Structure 1
Amino acid sequence: MRDLTLLHPEGTISMRICHIALQGCLRLANVSYGITADTGGHIKYLLELVRASAADPDVTHIDIVTRGFENEKLGEAYAPDAGEVSGKLRLVRLQDGEAAYLPKEQLWQQHEALCDAFLAFLGSCGELPDLIHAHYADGGILARAAKERFGIPYIFTGHSLGAVKRQASQGVGDEEIERRIAIEERVLEAADAVIASSRDEAEAQYSHYEGIDSGRIRVIPPGCVLDRFEDATPSDTVRGELQRFLSEPEKPILLAIARPVRKKNLMALLEAYAGNARLRKQANLVIVAGCRGLLGDLEQECREVIEELIAAIDRHDLYGRVAYPKSHAPGDIPAYYALARETGGVFVNPALNEPFGLTLLEAAASGLPVVATDSGGPNDIIERCGNGLLVCPTDRAGIAAACLDILSDEDKWTRYSKAGSTAVREYDWQAHCDIYHRLIREITFPQIAPSAHNRLLVCDIDNTLLGDRAALREFLSWQQDHRQNVVLGIATGRSFHSAQAILAAENVPTPDVIISSVGSCVHWYDRDRRRFVEDAAWSNSLLRNWDPDAVADLAVALGLEPQGFLEQKPGKASFFVGKADVNTLAEDLRRNGFAGETVISHGRYVDLLARGSGKGAAVKYVAQILGLEPNQVVVAGDSGNDIAMLRACQHPIIVGNASDGIRDHPALAHAYTARATHAAGILEGVQHFRKAGLW
């Protein structure tokens, strides 16, 4: 690890990065996507990442290491000695003793030889990389070998995981999947950080692995090149194609674009449309499901899905209302989005699970509202962009109702359409690399911990710390000046990974502690190991009297509606108010035997927590661990889920934009109510307590 003296005056540090990507036919330019089954999206992701990364002046050199091979059909460009150089980028092809091209399923046979070749390459370098970024588990095996030999830290991106594939097969894995999972476990065990593209990947997919703890997973959404969708217009080609199918092509279009495979759940969308007479009358359905010639030429699963869709169209007599074009050119896809927008339509992604959700961002950039599965990355996209609605992918009536909700409300359609511009700003490669490079610096550079902390400041995130970027910059400047003696904590209703992701996106330095999921989870940042560590003692203490099934049964009986899977945590069950009486809910729960904590926010969200938890209890616990007295703690919040924290603290701050009537709450008469909003309100409150000699 490099010395502190290598820091630039501006606080930056030069970086040499090495990527390992062994699968497929990788080139620096003119990649023949689809030339093999393994030459696909991960290569596009890698090349866009390294090009954006190289644009940072602090990145001095990037190596991309892949596997060399010889194959007459694929060409001579992939031979072990056929390296490539372009500016800061260098592509290196390893020789592993096997000349033939190998698909990903066979790469495990070459691990030992590939490790030897990679270590020899590193040994021949004049300067070792500061960090290795491994793609897929086979690349991770090489990265782990380099860490063990040279002490080089590594980041891992899984792209797709064996455990998820096993789960899709009803939990049954064949020998190949089990081998892949074992390799992934070995890679995860030693990784310094794991990059996930979404909360679902971080909190659901990686939960199947024993080798990774939550504190090492970072959610960094990939960048997307969306320019061609922003300025797209409907084309005569696309109009003409749809006129072949539709009797009234001027109607709003429900648009789906996906490969015809079962996990994309296109049949559920068709059945949802067929089963709702009002939706059939109001809109057309257009399914763009890849390109095909004869059905018999398709892979078996794709052929079966197309045949089932056509049979369902016939069974429900949907002719003239449903279009399913056979083929399209790449340039037609933006035109489909644009035409759906022009007709006042909606884009629908009903996948059983969508790891990220690129099509949602394409639709957003096109100004087209979306209805999307609540399983996977769409949770993050719609939360951040506010451009549509989430639905359970198995609830066909719910899919239809969500589509109608948007189609029938002009103001909502317009709001969701305009919100798409957020996607263009938030999901570009520059934003990704800003976070990515901060993570690399964090891993490769010594961290400065508070050396004489005697105060603790804990802030809520949404509408408290965040919400006014100018005020946030002022707050962060103050925090930088006081980082040696003030411990910065976060207390939020968000999950740990959601909190971490939004803080990183807003350029907030890594806090010392994150209290997440309304106080049911505590993570400490370990600056020596440069990672977050979950406080197991806190979590375990909450589960002693927690019966999630009984809590769920009681909540549903009172009319509450469960929130999504990702919102349910050990010691926390989250609901929408639904049909419950929000004014008597807490008392109704107590009368029916619920002994835990009830938190109601914004008149809509309900969190039921294990007894003894909540933000207030968690802040007290953190202060005790730090050895601080109650008068050394200041907290700041804005809404109903902050009440317990504000009430429990001697020095609470209510920011000027507070909601849920907390400024008039009788238990918060001791709070300082700021005139300024958001982060400026926090600073105003801090200055008040300091001038009064109370903190």
Structure 2
Amino acid sequence: MDGSGPRVALVSSSYFPDIGGVEQHTAQVARELLGRGYAVEVWTVDRGRASVRTQVQGVTVRYLPTPLPTLSPRGVVSFLRKVPSAFREWAWARRDFHPDVLHVHCFGPNGVYAEALGRLSRIPRVVSSHGETYMDDHDVYGRSLVLRTALRAALRGARAVTACSPEVAADLRARFDAGEVRIVPNGVTTPASGPREPRAERRVILAAGRLEHNKGFDLLIEALPLLSEHVGLDIVGSGSQEEALRSRARELGLEERVRFLGPTSPSGVLQAMADADVVVVPSRKEPFGIVVLEAWAAGTPVVATSVAGPASFVTDGQDGLLVDPRDPRALAGALQRVLEDDGLWRSLASGGRRTVRRYTWSAVVDEYVTTYPGPDRPTPV
């Protein structure tokens, strides 16, 4: 790129210092676009922190206020008091950066304000859904008329709508009246190191993600007693279900076999995966399953859910094993096969390393930039 590409504001529901899928996705897209000569800023929700403009790992980030009304009289009064100054900050960001496109990632309060600003300022919008419409354990979209209404309006008015998987696209069409939805999967940074061998010492299963009901970590704990006592489970992440998971592990006498490692950096997650013998994605629901890509990149075999997102891109028996995690015996059986059969271990690890080459950040951004306005893609009026 020669710098003539559009100026892109990536409007993310969350960003650093928070760590998670959308934060990493947005950061990688920002870096890739900057490397191609685009002018890029990340606009994200301030989450009660001071509204500031700063640099995060070479990317300009604006933390902006996004107050929304609630049903209580006090909530409405609070919203009416806060919204004028909040929107002034969004308007100032537009005047300061002059974006040619607002690219919303993970629609929430960030999307509400981006949609309002885009309509008033006639800035094209792209909406990319990462499963936020149905992965929230607290059903925020079911409870918030504001979010439901704003999302429907954003999908109708968007220049393009993308989803990370067919399941997410189907939800946008079924519940929020989306029209055409393009599938743009997640990406991953693949390491340069070659494949490794399975370890002979104590075997470790690793699971990573938000500790919420939909992620199915409780199902994995229920399956662990069916495996050898020499098999341990490491869980990376934090969330509202952590104490319930710890309690269930104690009830089953698994305190010495289950370790809760807490949240860690992206590099720390990849290292933990490389140190594990198998990575498990036991989700009841999962919009995509970036953990699968990370495990493949780390050279570690994967056992993944057959009832959620990973089933749309994992080929059972070639680059992973697919199993219904709601069946503890089936889940334990799949894990046992990988842990005891070194030939299968090597085959799945090699298959994953081949497949993951298709999921580069360059390929993800190739898809995104085709949705942006440009000389040959005039902005709709």
- Shorter-chain TM-score category? 0.7 to 0.9
How many angstroms apart in 2 are the aligned matches of 1:96 and 1:416?
A: 45
- Alpha-carbon shift at residue 66 of structure 1 (Å): 4.4
Whether contact under 8 Å (1:385, 1:423) holds in the other structure is no
Pairwise CA RMSD of aligned residues?
4.3
1:129 alignment counterpart: 99
Residue by residue, what CA displacement relative to the aligned partner does 1:274-329 show, whole Å, maximum 9, x if unpaired?
A: 34xxx538x624232547xxxxxxx76321221112212x2xxx68xx62125477
- What is the TM-score of this pair, normalised by structure 1? 0.45
Judged with a 3 Å threshold, the aligned counterparts in structure 2 of structure 1 residues 262 and 86 are, in CA distance, closer, same or farther, namely closer
The CA distance in 2 between the partners of 1:208 and 1:308, in whole Å, is: 36
**CA 108–162 in structure 1, closer or farther in 2 if over 3 Å, else same:** farther
The CA deviation string for residues 548-586 of structure 1, in whole angstroms up to 9 with x for no partner, is xxxxxxxxxxxxxxxxxxxxxxxxxxxxxxxxxxxxxxx
2:183 maps to which of 195, 219, 223 = 219
How much does 1:371 deviate? 1.0
Secondary structure in 2 matching 1:43? helix
Whether the 8 Å CA contact 2:234–2:261 is kept in 1: the answer is no
Partner of 1:337: 273
Question: Aligned equivalents of 2:321 and 2:217: distance in 1?
Answer: 18
Superimposed CA distance per residue, residues 491-519 of structure 1 (whole angstroms, 9 cap, x where no aligned partner): xxxxxxxxxxxxxxxxxxxxxxxxxxxxx
Give the SS at the match of 1:209.
helix
The secondary structure found in structure 2 opposite 1:325 is: strand
Residue pair 1:111, 1:138 contacting (<8 A) in 2 also: no
The answer as to 2:34 corresponding to 1:54 is: yes
* 2:303 corresponds to 1:323: no
When residues 384 and 145 of structure 1 are mapped into structure 2, their CA distance, relative to the original with a 3 A threshold, is farther
Rg larger in structure: 1
User: Structure 1 pair 210/265, CA: closer, same or farther in 2 (3 Å)?
Assistant: closer
- Name which of 248, 251, 261 aligns with 1:308: 248
Name the CA distance, whole Å, in 2 between partners of 1:260 and 1:94: 27
Whole-Å separation in 1 of the counterparts to 2:359 and 2:32: 13
Compared CA separation, residues 384 and 267, structure 1 to 2 (3 A): closer
Say which SS state the counterpart of residue 234 (structure 2) adopts: strand
Pairwise CA distance, 1:219 = 1.6
> Aligned pair 1:20/2:5, yes or no?
no
Separation in 2, partners of 1:83, 1:339: 35
SS at match of 1:440: coil
Change (3 A) 1:385 1:219: farther
Q: Distance in 1 between matches of 2:317 and 2:4?
A: 32
Aligned to 1:452: none
3-state SS of 2:259 partner: coil
1:284 aligns with 2:231: yes
2:176 alignment partner in structure 1 = 210
Higher mean displacement: 177-186 or 46-55: 177-186
Q: Which amino acid aligns with 1:137?
A: G
Helix, strand or coil at the partner of 2:189: coil
Q: Percent identity?
A: 22
1:170-227 deviations in Å (ceiling 9; x for gaps): xx77984444333322322322222222222222x324423312x1x22212222343
Letter in 1 for 2:329: A
Counterpart-to-counterpart distance in 1, 2:290 and 2:373: 28
In the alignment, which residue of structure 1 is the partner of 2:71? none
Partner of 1:266: 217
1:141 aligned residue: 112
Cα deviation, residue 90, structure 1:
4.3
User: SS state of the match for residue 314, structure 2?
Assistant: helix
The equivalent residue for 1:377 is 309
Kindly report which structure 2 residues correspond to 1:132-211, keeping only aligned pairs within 5 A, or say none. Answer: 132-135=102-105, 136-165=107-136, 168=137, 176-203=143-170, 205-211=171-177
Unmatched 5+ stretches in structure 1: 1-6, 35-39, 99-104, 240-248, 292-298, 447-527, 530-695
Per-residue CA deviations over 1:615-636 (Å, capped at 9, x if unaligned) read xxxxxxxxxxxxxxxxxxxxxx
Q: Tell me the secondary structure at the aligned position of residue 187 of structure 2.
A: coil
TM, length-normalised to structure 2: 0.77
Question: Counterpart amino acid of 1:64?
Answer: V
Separation (CA, whole Å) in 2 of partners of 1:112 and 1:379: 45
Deviation of 1:65 (Å): 3.4
> 1:158 & 1:13 partners in 2: Cα distance?
27
**Aligned 8 A contact 1:163 1:208 in 2:** no
Asked if structure 1 preserves the Cα contact closer than 8 Å seen for 2:87 and 2:113, the reply is yes
Contact 1:16-1:62 within 8 A present in 2 as well: yes
Q: Which has the higher contact order (CA 8 A, sep 6+)?
A: 2
The aligned length equals 368
CA distance in 2, matches of 1:159, 1:305: 25
Note the alpha carbon deviations across 1:461-520, whole angstroms, 9 max, x for none.
xxxxxxxxxxxxxxxxxxxxxxxxxxxxxxxxxxxxxxxxxxxxxxxxxxxxxxxxxxxx
Residues 621-666 of structure 1, C-alpha deviation per residue, up to 9 Å, x if partnerless? xxxxxxxxxxxxxxxxxxxxxxxxxxxxxxxxxxxxxxxxxxxxxx
SS at match of 2:182: strand
The unaligned stretches of length 5 or more in structure 2 are 69-74
Once the 2 structures are TM-superposed, how far is the Cα of residue 355 of structure 1 from its aligned partner?
A: 2.3
What secondary structure sits across from 1:224 in the alignment? Answer: coil
CA contact (8 A) 2:40 2:60 kept: yes
